[in-house]
Amino acid sequence: MRACIARGLYGHRGRMDHSRTPVLDALSEFRHRGDVVFGPPGHRQGRGVDPRVLTILGEGVFASDVLAMNGLDDRRNSQGVLQDAQDLMADAVGAEHAFFSTCGSSLSVKSAMLSVAGPGEKLLISRNAHKSVVSGVIINGTVPGWVHPKFDAERHLAHPPEPDDVRRAFQQHPDAKGMLLITPTDWGVCADIQGVADVCHEFGVPLIVDEAWGAHLPFHDELPTWGMDADADVVVTSVHKMGAAVEQSSVFHLQGDRVDPTVLAQREDLLATTSASSLVYASLDGWRRHMVEQGRELLTRTLALAARAREEIGAIDGIEVYGQELVEEGYAFEIDPLVLAIDVRGLGITGYQAAELARARHHVDFGASDTCRINARLTHADDDASVDILVATLRKIVEDARSAETPPPVDFPSAEGLELETVLLPRDAFFAEVEQVPAEKAVGRVAAEMVTPYPPGVPVLAPGERISQEAVDYLRSGVAAGMLIPEAADPEVTSLRVVRES
């Protein structure tokens, strides 16, 4: 955590009038004028929507669905509504530039990658990356230099690589154009961003941080370090995850001169929609104002709630909540205290079972689950009542577990078993001639698809990697224990898609 912040929260705030919300103000003005629209959207601000739909979604959603050009702004965008809102966001979080994305961080991270390493160029990437990153490798034609995470064998958990891991990777791949680091992880583990940034800059290249789970970090000094405060060059956030914007709301932030803002903007434009959602823009605009004006107060309260929840959950027999011990054991640089990673193995059930019991019997939905654990994330929207429900639900799951079916064992791989050899470029493997073969015959073959337990969404197999027996055993046993692999050609992993051999 930060003892002080040289820029960002305290260094930049106050330069601009953060009571303003350019997008929301333009939307209010649009409604007040009563413009009659003869372009998209075809529902005409809700007049053409089935009343049965309005009953569920509400009239306000459609009334706020307005084009940016010839809607919120004129055809020349002369009022600069969106740019003004993005400038305010940059000022709020200590970045030099901010870009709104209405396609989620899945698109933002692809754009950031493409701005640093074009087709055929190499990028170092932490191998615990989300499937959206691996998709970016395929779409962009990136040559990946995988940096393998630290593996916690006892908890069966991958943690971000350390600066020394990144240094070794640059020595092995001196032609790499930059590095992509994922932090925080789905389980709240945070990397040494400053240390990794220092290594990247020593080699003269930028650091991209996929900080999708970290939109809240700039707004409280007792939270883990925010990427812009740790000299990262580009930081991608999913504001819908830990903030208060609607789904698909993402922002990528830029500072310094290692990445050209024009290059970033133009390469994002290659991938982005030309029909951006005003609902996303407006919710991002309003969230920024809320955090600047009240964020510290709200997050101080949330931190206290998380501390109470952690203490009460930790007292439940058979349940363990990960915490500062991950830092003390050398697996994490920092821990996000608002993320409660809850190990349920002591109850004799899997995280999958715990999540299903919570939803089916108690109408509580957890954020992620795997064979060992579930997680609960607290945001500024939580209160004592929601924490009470969380704790009570976990106590009920202890009772539920006594009559739950004993799960089949999972063949967890070793750290080495997950460090698969890349023998073909992911793009080439994905678009190659392929065949579907029985899983037992896929060992030693080259994967032609992503095979991704979801959530949290980190691929076990990426295209171009040579399939190992350990990986197959893990996937097959995991599916038997409740693992979901929805995007694989065969979600049951009885067969795998591999590159056809000539």
Cβ atoms of 189 and 324 closer than 8 Å: no
pLDDT, residue 318, reads: 97
319 in Cβ contact with 398 (< 8 Å)? yes
Nearest-angstrom CA–CA distance, 390 and 384 = 10
List C-alpha distances in Å: 48 to 36, 41, 62, 121.
14, 10, 10, 48
Residue 382, pLDDT score: 98
Distances (CA, A) of 459 to 78, 137, 335, 349, 367: 44, 13, 23, 23, 18
Sign of CA dihedral 416, 418, 419, 421: positive
pLDDT of residue 11: 39
What global pTM score does this model have?
0.94
461: which residues sit within 8 A by CB, 6+ positions away? 420, 447, 449, 450, 451, 467, 471, 475, 496
In the prediction, which pLDDT does 275 show? 87
* Dist CA 182 CA 344 (whole Å): 25
Q: What's the pLDDT at 89?
A: 97
The predicted pLDDT at position 224 comes to 98
Q: What percent of the chain shows pLDDT beyond 90?
A: 87
- Give residue limits of the domains in the chain: 78-290, 415-499
* Pairing mode of beta strands 150-152, 157-159: antiparallel
- The residue ranges of the chain whose pLDDT is under 70 are 1-14
Does the domain spanning 78-290 belong to CATH 1.10.3720.10?
no
Per-residue pLDDT tens for 269-292?
Answer: 998 888 889 999 999 999 999 999
Specify the pLDDT at position 414.
87
Match domain 415-499 to its CATH number in 3.30.420.10, 3.40.228.10, 3.90.100.10, 3.40.50.1970: 3.90.100.10
Rounded to an integer, what distance in angstroms lies between the CA atom of residue 343 and that of residue 71? 50
